Amino acid sequence: METIKCIETRRSIRKFKTQQIPHELMQEIIGAAAYAPSWKNTQVTRYVVVEDAAIKSRIADEAVLGFEHNKGIINGAAALVVVTLVHGRSGFERDGSYTTSKEDRWEVFDTGLATQTFCLAAHDKGIGSVILGIFDENKVADILGVEEGQKVAALVAVGYADEAPDAPKRKSVDDLLKFV
């Protein structure tokens, strides 16, 4: 798909068909997401694709901070992608000190870039997605047994779209941009 078209037509998808995503297709999407830029090419973003219905529904039941809306989305998704990051590399010097006043926030910036790249690649391959920010990161980490040294950065519900929502209104370029 042409890049601008892919950016403009990607929508957050919250209703999915039951059809599973083939592993080869998910591997292709992650392969594309791997090309996202990162701090000194540290590539700290990792992905756990939760297909197991019991684990998915445990996350939906126990780790969405009571936000029923997200519970429904997770239960209805073909899979839930748990995006994690390897803590302590992006934004850090070799001696463990922070490089800039943003301290460790560059690692979250990196996972944001990777997650959007993932969502665009998924859209290009015909897979719908929605990033979910309202969840309990420690609870998700406990349920999944996330590796020591990693943090849960975001959840992304994925599947074949069963809706075609209109784009929510965007701010005008005049509101967003200034030249100096």
Ligand X SMILES: Cc1cc2nc3c(=O)[nH]c(=O)nc-3n(C[C@H](O)[C@H](O)[C@H](O)COP(=O)(O)O)c2cc1C
Under the rule (CB under 6 A), what is the footprint of ligand X? Answer: 11-12, 14, 69-70, 73, 130-134, 167-168
Strand partners, 154: 83
Least distance (Å) between residue 23 CB and ligand X? 26
Place of tokens 């009571």: 66
Output the CA–CA distances (angstroms, integers) from residue 165 to 15, 104, 116, 161, 169, in the order listed: 10, 35, 18, 10, 12
Least distance (Å) between residue 94 CB and ligand X? 30
Smaller CB separation from ligand X, 1 or 134: 134
In whole angstroms, give the CA distance from residue 23 to residue 29.
10
Q: Which of 98, 101, 107 is nearest to 152 (CA)?
A: 107
Smaller CB separation from ligand X, 64 or 92: 64
Least distance (Å) between residue 180 CB and ligand X? 28
Across the beta sheet with 150-159, the strand order is 45-50, 79-86, 150-159, 128-132
Smaller CB separation from ligand X, 23 or 65: 65
Residue nearest to ligand X (CB): 133
Smaller CB separation from ligand X, 10 or 58: 10
Supply the DSSP symbol for 39. G
Least distance (Å) between residue 73 CB and ligand X? 6
Least distance (Å) between residue 7 CB and ligand X? 10
Smaller CB separation from ligand X, 14 or 56: 14
Within a 13 Å sphere around the CA of 37, how many CA atoms are in the beta-carbon half? Answer: 4
